[in-house]
Structure formats: C-alpha cells, structure tokens
Amino acid sequence: MIFFLKNHPINQAVIRGAAVKDLNEGEIRRNPGEPSPEAAKADKYKMPVIKWRGLSIRIENPAGSVRRGHNWETRMKYDYGYISGSNGVDGDEVDVYLGPYLDIAEIVYVVHQRKYGKWNQYDEDKCLIGFMSEDEAKAAYLAHYDDPRFLGPITALPVEEFIEKVKATREQSGMIKSMILFFKANVNRCSI
C-alpha cells in the first residue's frame, strides 16, 4: 500500500513496508525505489531534487527509507540529503534533514556532530531545516541515531544567514568556519 503525504516538500510516495517481490535477492527488507548498496556507494541513482529558497536539495534518503552505513542502518523519520553545489567541512556537500515546516521555519539548526567512539571530537555538521524550535530539531536528529553522544553543540542561524554561508562554501572549503572554531573551543565543556 502506498500513502501520499500531504504538504510533503516533494510530494513523494512513501511505502510503508515492501512486499517480497520488491526485495532484491538476499537483501534485508527495503523500500521499493531505494538504491542498492552498490548504487548508493557509487552515487548513481536518481534522487528527488527540491528547490528551497534558491538552493537545490537532493534527497538521498526519503522519509521511510532505510539509510545504511558500515555496520549500521536507520529508518529515516525525515527526508535526508544534501545541498547541491555546497562544500561542508568534511569535504562533502552540506548534509540536511528536512522538517515539515520548510516554508515557515525561519531558523536552521546546525548540529556539530561528534565522532563515533571519540565523543569529544568534532566530526561534521548536520543541518536541520524546517523545524520550528531547537527542541524539535534536536528530537528529529536524535531519532536517527542509536547513541545520543553523536549530538554535539547546536548553532541556530536565521535562514537568510544560513543560505548566505552555504552559498559562500562554493568559493571556500568548509561550511561555517566560525562555528567550527566555536565548537573546538567549547567541546570539552559540552555534556556527553
């Protein structure tokens, strides 16, 4: 059965459980349309693209799909992807989670994620767009991780400032260097 989510930014269909015929040989239960591990690794599959305030966001993992990595997987509660043409501090494009209030939320919450197993070290940024409060953004972030220690400090940026900083990454490597310097200066004071 397919359910269509109203007011969803890309009006995509979300499958609430795949049928056996939708599974690839030997695979764990997956949503139809989810790329194979090989296609995902090679970044060779069609991703939905949404336009948001002058930026293009590619949706790697729609809400309801399973995102997988080395020895982990998580069912996505929110769309997850990246801002095309941007350059995050990790050398990849800027990662985003998309909340239900893309058109009205005026703050973007940037989580300065910690490294797995090295909880006092910075890893990368995850930006939560379309959430009405820091608490809502924090809950959305934590819903995708099995260990709350991944959650580092959160920087709240007005949407227009966030967009300006993301666009600036096209010329400079790294997302928001001042935020990284802030994080490094304060990492030992953050609760784990």
Structural domains of the chain, ranges and CATH numbers in brackets: 43-189 (3.90.80)
Residue 114 CB: number of other CB atoms within 10 A? 23
For residue 48, which amino acid is it?
A: P
pLDDT (0 to 100) of residue 42:
73
Measured distance CA(144)–CA(130) in Å, rounded: 16
Residue 175 tokens, joined? 């997302």
Q: Which residues of the chain have pLDDT under 50?
A: 1-29, 32, 175, 177-178, 188-192
Task: Please tell me the predicted confidence (pLDDT) of residue 184.
Answer: 53
Distance of CA 29 to the CA centre of its chain: 22
Ramachandran quadrant class, 85 (left: phi over 0; alpha: psi -120 to 50; beta: rest): left
Q: What residues does 95 pair with on adjacent strands?
A: 82, 126
pLDDT computed for residue 20 by the predictor: 40
**What dihedral angle (degrees, nearest 10) is formed by the CA atoms of 12, 10, 169, 156?**
-100
Reported as half-sphere exposure (CB side, CA atoms, 13 A), residue 34 has a value of: 27
Say which DSSP state 189 is in. Answer: G
> What is the overall mean pLDDT for the chain?
78
Give the list of residues 6+ apart from residue 92 with CB closer than 8 angstroms, or none: 82, 124
The pLDDT value recorded for residue 69 is 81
Predicted local confidence at residue 38, as pLDDT: 75
Residue (of 87, 81, 85, 113) closest to 99 by Cα position:
81
Q: What is the pLDDT of residues 118-149, one digit of tens each?
A: 999 999 999 999 999 999 999 999 999 999 99
What pLDDT does residue 190 have? 44
The confidence score (pLDDT) of residue 78 equals: 94
pLDDT of residue 35: 65
Q: How far apart are CA 88 and CA 106, in angstroms?
A: 21
Q: Three-state SS for 113?
A: strand
pLDDT at 173: 54
> In this predicted structure, what is the pLDDT of residue 180?
52
- What is the rounded CA–CA span in Å between residue 18 and residue 140? 24
SS3 at position 87: coil
Gap between the Cα atoms of 156 and 177, Å rounded: 15
